[in-house]
Structure 1
Amino acid sequence: MAEQHGRRGTTIAGFRVLGVAIRREPWIFTLSTLGSVLFGALTVADAWVLGWATDHVVLPAFDDGEIGASMLVAVVALFLGVALLRAVGIVARRLGAGVMQYRMQAHTRRAVTRQYLRLPMAWHQRHPTGQLLSNANSDVEAAWAPIAPLPMAVGTLAMMVIAVAQMLLADLVLAVVGLLVFPAVVLANLAYQRLASPLMTRAQQLRAELSEIAHESFDGAMVVKTLGREAEETRRFETVAHELRDVNTRAGRIRAAFDPTLAALPNLGVLVVLALGVARVLDGAADAGDVVTIAYLLTIVSFPIRSIGWLLGEFPRSVVGYERADAVLRATGEMQYGERSLPAVGVGARLELRGVGFAYDPDQPLLRQVDFTVEPGRTVALVGATASGKSTLTMLVSRLVDPDRGEILLDGTDLRDLAPGELARTLALVPQSAFLFDDTVRGNITLGAEIPDDEVWAALRAAQAEGFVAALPQGLDTRLGERGASLSGGQRQRISLARALVRQPRLLILDDATSAVDPEVEARILEALRSGATSGSLLVVAYRKGTIALADEVVHLDGGRVVDRGTHEELLVRDPAYAALVNAYETEHEPVQEGA
């Protein structure tokens, strides 16, 4: 990325980023710029008032020994009028810049978030969570940081033009001498961009890495604590944090040299102008008022130079942040949808897989020519050894990812032909790892939908969760803590199951979703599902004999292929590998007793 900056120039890239903001918010930019131009023009008017007062009030007072009251009132009125109008310009400039900056940040964050939702799971699996958080947060803030000084810089350009014109009209020689500071400013800025851009690029990368490490540590807090890895995690975080500190320190040192240089160059110009101006006044080649005006204008010109420096100083970090966020917005691979719809109510859906193949790594196919059908209202158990592709199949059926080959049909319609939202309205997936929000029981089940409490309780009853929820201090209004920390693993799974059941899906997929409950409770849950808790079809990833025996049909998956289908009893007789698998699981795993 640094090489790319070197090719096209950070300054040019920075102005392109600002062009995006100006095109999106033209009216706010215009308002703030007009305020800044008003401020700049009135600031230059101060110099004219000062020069006029020097020639018409101050010097005559020295000659006459007194100041006329009318002239004094005129000078005070001029200064007050200029000050009031300048204050109006400051308010308009700052208000417009702030509104424009925060609106662009909000717009970009929403765009990045919408893109996250559009992109398939395969894309998310290639990008760490910490990086995604950084793209939506620090990268967005960095991208639009130059908006704050932008109106000021644009407005002060007008100030500079007016000031330079007035300087040239006052005294051409002094003006030319004073304006020699501009080439020096350009050279200083070029040096700053060259030194700062690589550091800003690295700093943004390190912020993403730091966020990723922090997210992993917090997410895996239980593993870290129970295995005593606190010191190692601290060192891992510390290494990146120290590198980020060092990079920011180096960038800060460069900025610390750049800002004073910008401030000093106009002051040097003022000293030169005053020295030359005194000589020209003594020679009769210039008026004292003109020298005062030009010297004051040079101090005014220093402010536009500094404001432009503030703008340019933000460009390296802004360009890096924008390109990192824009990389998300330009990412391809979002899922395509059709326009087909499915029945909203009725009997269970018919699921059919035809020649489905999928691979995370093209050289290592995970699923090969998978074919099976779940008839409406039937329960099918999916059984297979670890890494045989069962959970991947549930992701394919839920269309979290699309198959590389083959078709998955729901009621005869390819999932890729369904309109957006149709599959979510028809199908519900309950994964093994139950995720709960830091919300109430009701909030975790309804997820904001308008669902009556009697339906919530019915879903809890079917999930065998009614008893422990009723025993909670506030019942449905009890907050569960982050990730449901106040509940046992089995209780979290049952809340997750109730969340799916309350939506009355026509196809319910359980990906080992009752692994943390004891076999007796699991049997009651499955029996409730079969006996009317849901009228939909049921696809269950299962290991326990009791669970498998409740299925109408069993699909044995091995090596990414369906090797046998039939009832549990039929497969025990004719499929030795299946019998060995389920018997081994039954003998080697003691029942899991969940907390109350």
Structure 2
Amino acid sequence: MPSEHPVQAPSIPAPSIAAPSSRTPERSRNLWRLRPYLRPHRWRLVLMFSTAMLGVGVSLSVPLVTRSIIDGPVTRRELDLLVPLAFLALGLSIAEVLLVWIRRMAQSRTVSDLEASLRHDLYVRLQSLPMEFHTRWQSGQLLSRVTTDLSTIRRFMGFGLLFLVMNILQLAVVTILLLRLYWPLGIVVLAAAVPIVTLSMRFEKKYLKISRQVQDQQGDLATRIEESALGFRVVKAFGRRRHVQQQFDGEAISLYNTTVDKVRLASRFWSFLGVIPNLTLVIVLLLGALAVGRESITLGTLVAFITLMLSLVWPVTSLGGILAMAQEAMTAADRISEILDTHSVITSGPLELTNSRGHLRFEHVGFQFSDDSSEILHDINLDLTPGTTLALVGATGSGKTTLTALVPRLYDVTAGRITIDGHDIRELTLNSLRTAVASAFDDPTLFSMSVRENLTLGRPDATDAELQEALQVAQAEFANDLPWGLDTRVGEQGMSLSGGQRQRLALARAVLARPAVLVLDDTLSALDVHTEALVEEALRRVLADTTGIVVAHRASTVMLADQVALLQGGTITHVGTHQELLATVPAYRHLLAAEEEEVHA
């Protein structure tokens, strides 16, 4: 086991599929689709917005009480009214604090549940989408949607949306109050709103576009980081650290420049929003003082007017931040909707496959990735009776892996059909099909969890005796000697193990599932000759009771099979025993000879 990767302690218990684009929609309204996630919390939402509106009403009542104090007890020396009015103001302030506390309690629970539900549905959707989707999408783009974009939506729903509603309500109510208190000054305040509204509409369009660009670049950068982390051994082995660093720097600088443009745009807008209220306040103070001097209004009215107007400073200056947050949330919702609105073309059928015998047939099977791509496989015909093992032989790139991926429906055939026990696999439930078919791949994937958890992915109820039997077949007993035995965590991608160890654990996982059909896609390629011989000897016993498809490159692996199929030009050209094909098919003989030369070289 490589010493540079120490093992870890055991853990404590639709639209067509397309790659993401960097499109920048003029208008996104995908936040509207969050309604189903908010519906279960409608009473908390009602409580949240009700307390918010009451809080606005209470806060705006304080300036009116202040006017009554100035124009009454202060101006007229009616001191007996001072104490009741002071207690009224105090009571209003306490009520406002309580309303804020209730609102935040309801708000935090609702937003947390919304984020958790969205994250759950996103993960479930990603798991349900076929291989075609995941081969076209960058993992970093998916990761940024499940993390960064969800956080953006949470922040807006937990802060921006509520204060957007509160600020609009406060602006409307205060404007009406100002007009009622002294309409000439109210007109001045109303006139100041015109440039703010005009600029806000222009800002919204520009910020939506640049927000989408930043979020897409964040996804690209996340992909770059993930690839560098997973491929660090290749980078170090080829001495390409500086080259990879330059690639990262290039994308990071692009993201930095776009982010600076975004900040610059927001700063200009926010600066403008800061100037207008202050300029308006100066004009109102000047005109208000003149009005008091002419006795057009009382001093208390002017104080109330100024106080109410100052209450507009926060709604106006925060407008830029809230609009920016809204645009980011809209683009985030748009990016998340690209996943939620994508539906798998591989759907579960109605039939439940039970007690499968493993009779597998390929009937004129063809496959191509898309309508505008060339056909990879065509007119594949095979009949594997229960217990038959077929070795699939072909040149690199001939379509062997694609053919084996059709059996568990990682991809769906585009022509013909595949049957198990006479049932078209497209009519079977995916769960029962993938219980009957187990696969082990040449590039095995192990998850960052214990060896035991990795092995029992396909069969959670396996006993310790069955685990040990599967490990013995795969010659993977080394797992028992790990620091914590089968409870040892193998690290991300199983990088704490060698390639051969990962392959043997993946083989043990497939064997443990006890499938009716076992698909082995060149799973012995990383084994030495001695270990390969031991594994093949054990596999013969397993394959005797299972229908097997073995992708083979070596003559020793071919010997496991009852029959051999030669794949050439996207179709099966010859089927027979190893000896028959070796004697009668020059292409087969040449292919195995070339493979053996590569092995010995």
3-state SS in 2 of match to 1:424: helix
Q: Distance in 1 between matches of 2:310 and 2:544?
A: 79
The aligned residue for residue 520 of structure 2 is: 510
Say whether 1:555 aligns with 2:571: no
Say whether 1:48 aligns with 2:59: no
Aligned-partner residue type, residue 585 of structure 2: D
- Give the superposition deviation at 1:354: 0.8
Q: What does the per-residue CA deviation read over 1:295-354, in whole Å, with 9 as the maximum and x for residues that have no partner?
A: 111111223334444332223322222222212222244312211122236xx4111101
Check whether the contact 1:29–1:151 (CA below 8 A) recurs between aligned residues.
no
Say whether 1:416 aligns with 2:416: no
The aligned residue for residue 272 of structure 1 is: 283
Q: What does the per-residue CA deviation read over 1:510-547, in whole Å, with 9 as the maximum and x for residues that have no partner?
A: 00001111233223323323224873211111111122
Say whether 1:281 aligns with 2:292: yes
The aligned residue for residue 234 of structure 1 is: 245
Q: Distance in 2 between matches of 1:59 and 1:514?
A: 97
Aligned pairs (5 A) from 1:10-159: 13=29, 16=32, 25-61=41-77, 68=79, 70-147=80-157, 148-159=159-170
CA 25–512 in structure 1, closer or farther in 2 if over 3 Å, else same: same
The aligned residue for residue 3 of structure 2 is: none
Say whether 1:522 aligns with 2:532: yes
Check whether the contact 2:366–2:378 (CA below 8 A) recurs between aligned residues.
yes
Q: Distance in 2 between matches of 1:2 and 1:196?
A: 15
Check whether the contact 2:24–2:212 (CA below 8 A) recurs between aligned residues.
no
The range that moved more, 159-168 or 579-588, is: 159-168
CA 15–223 in structure 1, closer or farther in 2 if over 3 Å, else same: closer
Structure having greater relative contact order (Cα 8 Å, sep ≥ 6): 2
The aligned residue for residue 325 of structure 2 is: 314
Count of aligned positions: 578
The aligned residue for residue 359 of structure 1 is: 368
The aligned residue for residue 64 of structure 1 is: none
- Give the superposition deviation at 1:2: 9.8
Q: 1:191 aligns with which of 199, 202, 211?
A: 202
3-state SS in 1 of match to 2:312: helix
Q: Which runs of 4+ in 1 moved over 6 A?
A: 1-4, 17-21
Check whether the contact 2:161–2:326 (CA below 8 A) recurs between aligned residues.
no
3-state SS in 2 of match to 1:137: helix
Aligned-partner residue type, residue 399 of structure 2: G
Q: Distance in 2 between matches of 1:340 and 1:300?
A: 65
- Give the superposition deviation at 1:410: 0.9
Aligned pairs (5 A) from 1:202-241: 202-241=213-252
Q: Distance in 2 between matches of 1:327 and 1:380?
A: 41
Q: Distance in 2 between matches of 1:476 and 1:49?
A: 73
CA 517–19 in structure 1, closer or farther in 2 if over 3 Å, else same: closer
Q: What does the per-residue CA deviation read over 1:155-194, in whole Å, with 9 as the maximum and x for residues that have no partner?
A: 3433333323332332222222223222122023123224
The aligned residue for residue 454 of structure 2 is: 444
Say whether 1:481 aligns with 2:491: yes
Say whether 1:172 aligns with 2:183: yes
- Give the superposition deviation at 1:21: 6.6
Q: 1:349 aligns with which of 341, 348, 358?
A: 358
Aligned-partner residue type, residue 179 of structure 2: L
Aligned pairs (5 A) from 1:372-521: 372-447=382-457, 449-466=460-477, 468-521=478-531
Check whether the contact 1:368–1:561 (CA below 8 A) recurs between aligned residues.
yes
Q: Distance in 1 between matches of 2:110 and 2:377?
A: 50
Say whether 1:160 aligns with 2:176: no
Q: Distance in 1 between matches of 2:399 and 2:141?
A: 28
Q: Distance in 2 between matches of 1:413 and 1:31?
A: 55
Structure 2 segments unaligned to the other structure (5+ residues)? 1-20
Q: Distance in 2 between matches of 1:174 and 1:15?
A: 38
Q: Distance in 1 between matches of 2:400 and 2:52?
A: 63
Q: What does the per-residue CA deviation read over 1:48-104, in whole Å, with 9 as the maximum and x for residues that have no partner?
A: 12111111233245xxxxx84x54432431222111111122223333333333333
Aligned-partner residue type, residue 529 of structure 1: L
3-state SS in 1 of match to 2:59: helix
Normalised TM-score (structure 2):
0.90
Q: Distance in 1 between matches of 2:471 and 2:123?
A: 32
CA 331–586 in structure 1, closer or farther in 2 if over 3 Å, else same: same
Q: Distance in 1 between matches of 2:131 and 2:25?
A: 31
CA 263–35 in structure 1, closer or farther in 2 if over 3 Å, else same: farther
Structure 1 segments unaligned to the other structure (5+ residues)? 62-66, 592-596
Aligned pairs (5 A) from 1:585-596: 585-590=595-600
CA 392–248 in structure 1, closer or farther in 2 if over 3 Å, else same: same
The aligned residue for residue 594 of structure 1 is: none
Check whether the contact 2:448–2:493 (CA below 8 A) recurs between aligned residues.
yes
Q: What does the per-residue CA deviation read over 1:249-298, in whole Å, with 9 as the maximum and x for residues that have no partner?
A: 11112212222332332333222222111111111211111111111111
Check whether the contact 1:34–1:89 (CA below 8 A) recurs between aligned residues.
no
Q: What does the per-residue CA deviation read over 1:360-382, in whole Å, with 9 as the maximum and x for residues that have no partner?
A: 36443221211112210121111
Check whether the contact 1:167–1:293 (CA below 8 A) recurs between aligned residues.
no
Say whether 1:576 aligns with 2:586: yes
Q: What does the per-residue CA deviation read over 1:475-513, in whole Å, with 9 as the maximum and x for residues that have no partner?
A: 212222222222221111111111112221111110000
Q: Distance in 1 between matches of 2:182 and 2:237?
A: 79
Normalised TM-score (structure 1):
0.91
Aligned-partner residue type, residue 559 of structure 1: G
Aligned-partner residue type, residue 366 of structure 1: I
3-state SS in 1 of match to 2:378: strand
3-state SS in 1 of match to 2:255: helix
CA 247–48 in structure 1, closer or farther in 2 if over 3 Å, else same: same
Aligned-partner residue type, residue 564 of structure 2: V
Q: Distance in 1 between matches of 2:330 and 2:502?
A: 44
Check whether the contact 1:35–1:92 (CA below 8 A) recurs between aligned residues.
yes
Say whether 1:340 aligns with 2:351: yes
CA 18–479 in structure 1, closer or farther in 2 if over 3 Å, else same: closer
Question: Percent of aligned positions with the same letter in both sequences?
Answer: 31
- Give the superposition deviation at 1:399: 0.7
The aligned residue for residue 368 of structure 1 is: 378
Check whether the contact 1:381–1:539 (CA below 8 A) recurs between aligned residues.
yes
CA 561–195 in structure 1, closer or farther in 2 if over 3 Å, else same: closer
Aligned-partner residue type, residue 320 of structure 1: T
